[in-house]
Amino acid sequence: MSDNVTVTDKQSRVRCDDEKFLEAVYSSKTYAEIAEKTGQKLASTQARYNRVKETLFAKGIELPSMERKKPVKTVDSAENLAAIVARLKAAHSNG
């Protein structure tokens, strides 16, 4: 963590100054990337992004839009569901 990030022991809360946060926003595409760069939790990052976005919008400044990190799918869910249904039908029809 850099000099602009403060970790407190009280609630293991990570505090990040505005400059560091905005630097992370402009150099990221997802909330997860911002959270990783600032050391904050994902939910805290999303909430802060929305607060800052609203504040800056009132001043006529728009922040870049963020995306949620998409889960990596290794198995086709339709094929997986079909296999489960076939297995369950076979198991319950033999009863």
Read off the pLDDT band of 74 (50, 70, 90). low
Tens of pLDDT along 2-39? 567 666 656 667 788 899 999 999 999 999 999 999 99
pTM of the model: 0.62
Nearest to 49 by CA among 18, 15, 85: 18
- Phi/psi of residue 5, nearest 5 degrees: -115, 130
Q: What is the DSSP letter of 24?
A: H
In the numeric block, the tokens 């946060």 are attached to 21
Tens of pLDDT along 60-70? 999 988 888 77
Domain boundaries of the chain, sorted by first residue: 5-70
